[in-house]
Amino acid sequence: MSYSPSYVSDEAIRLRPLARSRPRRGIKKETFVRGLLTGMLYLTLLRTTGMWYGYPSNFIEDAPVDPFAQKLMLYSLIPLIGLYIWLEPNRFVSYFRRIPVLLIVVSAFSIISLGVSISFGASVRGIAAVAILTVAPLLYRFRYGSVATFQVLINFGIFAAFANILYTVAFPRYAIMSGSYAGMIKGLFYHKNGLGQFCAVSFIAMLSVGIPKGRLRYSQLLRWAALLCTLLLIVVSKSSTAVVMVAIGISALIGSHMMQSVRNSLARSFFVFFFCLLLGVAASFAYLGVAQMIADAFGKDLTFSGRTNIWDQLLPLVYDRPIFGYGFAAFRQPEVMEQYVELTFDARSTHNTYLELALNIGVPGMIAWTVFVLQRLGGRLTATQRSGDLRDTHSKEVAIILLIVVGSMMEAGMMLAPVILWPYLVVSLPVSKPKNTGRSMRDLIADSRHATPQ
């Protein structure tokens, strides 16, 4: 028996021909899913802003506005959401498997309010629109995280800033308001307050605290130019609410950044944050005082006067139906406001989101939603992020939630409404959880000790 290696002749070896790999045609599933969710998020942002060509310069004139384009954008999201569910059903179920109890309470009161609604058709359309415009941003946020989501918001903010500037220059007869708001800029929006609110939140989303590292890029120059255009649009829109929102947002952004860097003392962090917040509020009202002096010289009014007359007439209605309200989105309808509010001017909204929610879904539903938002805000204030990008995005989430909470005291439709700021609030509320590596930190420390030579 021989243990020496044996050799085979070349003729005996049958080489198997290599199989040529077939060229892949089409796109990968992951690429398609990302393109689908990105398109859905951009479509949601465009639909909620309501930006379009040809809105009347005087919104009181009841000039005909074709809602076909807005309806098309809204209802086109339904098959796109269905397509994503078909592509990734298990992932979709995992996203919405655990819903916070407070959200279940809000959903229950919203659905029950349909049964007592004074405008059933408007309530059904309103709750359907909110649901559709909530799912699309959440899917992108859950799938790709907060950093990638805010990058989409930044890109959309840059586009909107330049688009509104160019539209105002090209079509001033549509972009500049007339009547009682003569000279105020509304751009592609239906009303100048909408432009101001969007620019305030978009400014915070695009703003970065700190000195940029590395070489200066064209993308950074483009963002800075968009920031300047956004500030210019806020000024020319003459929206006092937008001014307050920007001041509070900047102060909250800086305060949150300081809280992320100061990790030794939680009390010190809260002190720094609320000091910056107080400074921002003081600066905003100081600006409004100067602006009011200038406006008085021209016979204008930039304060919040006039809204208290609306609230005085709407508060008794809350006492009449305190539990389930008058129906979801009922007091977002102009005809309902005309029925219950009698003023010398045309009041088309409650000018207070909390009052609007109490009228629509009842006081318990409004309280449950407010507690949920404040709970998420408090969780953001006590959490810390290690990554620089996550820290920057975390601070923006804090600022956006806070300025929407404050802005809701002066404007209607900032929460639970299918309008401008809803997607920004939706993507800021979810909690960012660290990826699970399967092992705890205690186990890793124990392993490192065992690995150390004795």
Number of C-alpha atoms within 13 angstroms, CB side, residue 205? Answer: 31
d(CA 358, CA 113): 11
Contact 326, 371 (CB under 8 A): no
Q: What is the pTM of this model?
A: 0.82
**Nearest to 58, CA basis, from 183, 164, 177, 167:** 177
Kindly give, in sequence order, each residue whose CB lies less than 8 Å from that of residue 147, ignoring residues fewer than 6 positions away.
389, 390, 393
d(CA 212, CA 287): 29
Tokens 């950074």, located at residue: 220
pLDDT at residue 239, as a whole number:
82
pLDDT at residue 58, as a whole number:
79
Alpha-carbon radius of gyration of the chain: 27
- Per DSSP, the three-state class of 185 is strand
Burial class (CB in 10 A: 0-12, 13-18, 19+), 90: exposed
- Give Cα separations from 122 to 218, 260, 335, 398 (angstroms): 46, 44, 11, 32
Q: What is the DSSP string of 372-423?
A: HHHHHHHHHHH---SSHHHHHHHHHHHHHHHHHHHHTTTSSSSSSSSSTTHH
Contact 415, 357 (CB under 8 A): yes
The single-letter code of the amino acid at 248 is I
d(CA 219, CA 222): 5
Q: Which long-range contacts (CB under 8 A, 24 or more apart) does 210-218 make?
A: 210/257
- Per DSSP, the three-state class of 176 is strand
pLDDT at residue 340, as a whole number:
81
pLDDT at residue 271, as a whole number:
65
pLDDT at residue 9, as a whole number:
52
If you ran DSSP here, which 8-state letter would residue 8 be given? Answer: -
Q: Which residues pair with 114 in a beta bridge?
A: none
Burial class (CB in 10 A: 0-12, 13-18, 19+), 101: exposed
> What average pLDDT values come out for the chain (454 residues) when binned by 10 residues?
49 51 65 94 95 82 68 94 94 89 94 93 94 95 93 96 96 88 89 91 86 71 93 90 84 78 63 66 61 52 57 87 92 84 67 92 95 88 73 89 86 89 94 49 42 40
d(CA 395, CA 383): 10
